[in-house]
Amino acid sequence: MKKSVKINISLLLVFMLALVPFAQPESPQVQATEEGGELVQQLNQMLNNDPILQGGLAGVSIRNAETGELVYDHIGDIRLRPASNMKLLTAASALETLGENYQFTTELLHTGSIKGKTLQGDLVLKGKGDPTLLKKDFDSFAVKVKEAGIKVIQGSLIGDDTWYDDVRYSTDLSWSDESWYYGGQVSALTASPNEDYDAGTVIVEVYPGEKAGQEPIVKMVPETDYIKIVNKAKTVSKDEKKDIHIERDHGTNTVTIEGEIPVEGSRSREWIAVWEPTGYALDLLKRSLAEQGIKIKGKTEAGTSPEGAKLFAEHKSMPIKDLLIPFMKLSNNGHAETLIKEMGKVAKGEGSWEKGLEVLEEQAAALGMNKETLVLRDGSGISHVNLIPANEISKLLFEVQDEEWFNSYLNSLPIAGNTDRMVGGTLRNRMKNTNADGNVKAKTGSISTVSSLSGYVKTASGEELILSVILNNLTDGGQGKVIEDKIATLLADQ
């Protein structure tokens, strides 16, 4: 695509109607009299006439990636709910505030002294925000204890999550989201079930029994006593339909399973967010210790590291540049909110949403955004109160290209059409077999009535463009992806 002039659609239309008496007033399209005018006409036609957008709002901002010039703008200065496009700002702020090589640390401490095979004191697990702890990491801690010759812990097993405050949910999280992985509680001490690193969740799997009438088989990943399963489901004949519901009861760690699963049918599974993940992490460590033959005489409870506790062992997470892969590719809400609290802790001395969002606002301004037009309520975009104009997101994407950490940032974005889950991410099944396939690197976003897509597009002629599309007030948010893909593909075709 040839370099385009900056276009303000509304002003240009008024000018044309005033000065060109033979123009057709019933047509809202800008005529293709400028370079790139055909593209402008196509975009206008879509945004003004597509039935998916009727009654909705479509903020579209397109910039030249080299110059930052705004080459297309459709209500680009109107504040809109960004959904997970908020993560573009959170990731950039984390890279700038913490650094791409920053690692989370988890400490195993002890009080008292070791006498023979007995620890005459407490064993303390102190979390400092790591959302990537797996069962194998707790196993490693248990092996360290065993290698020290300890077989009995005379005191208690304590979980210290005071690195962050005790507020578990961001301000606007809907009650209907809290039981699912995307609405998991944020704690400085937590655990993940697998390498997607959905912190504070367990995977509950339901398999059919051998015969109709039998209770289905339930498994958890990881196995934990922290979750109580109430199995009300039943196995039915193989010609019947599968209809399984797996839900956690509010305010508890009781998971109820209801419905029917046919003999020889496929499993059903859900990622369920636990209530109070600190206790979940402690339970996993307790199980790991038991597997090494280590007994705990005292209680297992949340608490604070006693003064003078000695370091037994520590675990460091992957650096943030690597954490950005599951965070951005899979749009992990828990990672976003953890990074908000970590930025607050590191930059302001308090691991809270309030202080973390202060850092986010400061970084937004430092990265070229107009903070006076932003409403920032969380780091993930799950809030319906967040507001960012499309022009501000495209401005951010232009400015970050000069940062030393930009390659890590760019590498974290989903790539259209790439079926590798940790490469294509949330775009892996979109825009396949088009010019956009492999040439669109962008962050997706989706909450009820909202869809968004912002990132970088390489055109057929080799030009680099920056795109931000924020669609609000849709009756079917999922249909927004159709519009986004059309726009991104249209740009890739140039």
Dist CA 296 CA 144 (whole Å) = 15
Dist CA 219 CA 246 (whole Å) = 12
First to last CA, the chain: 5
Dist CA 321 CA 455 (whole Å) = 18
Cα 151 versus chain centre, distance = 40
Dist CA 324 CA 90 (whole Å) = 11
Dist CA 377 CA 366 (whole Å) = 18
Provide the annotated active-site residues: 84, 87, 331
Strand order through the sheet with 152-153: 113-115, 118-120, 152-153, 295-296
Closest CA to 184 of 86, 284, 274: 274
Dist CA 492 CA 463 (whole Å) = 9
For residue 61, the one-letter residue type is: S
CB 174 within 8 A of CB 107: no
With residues binned 3-state (H G I as helix, E B as strand, rest as coil), the percentages for the chain, rounded to 5, are: 35, 25, 45
Dist CA 349 CA 123 (whole Å) = 26
Distant-in-sequence, close-in-space partners of 259: CB < 8 Å, separation ≥ 6: 233, 242, 243, 244, 245
Dist CA 198 CA 37 (whole Å) = 45
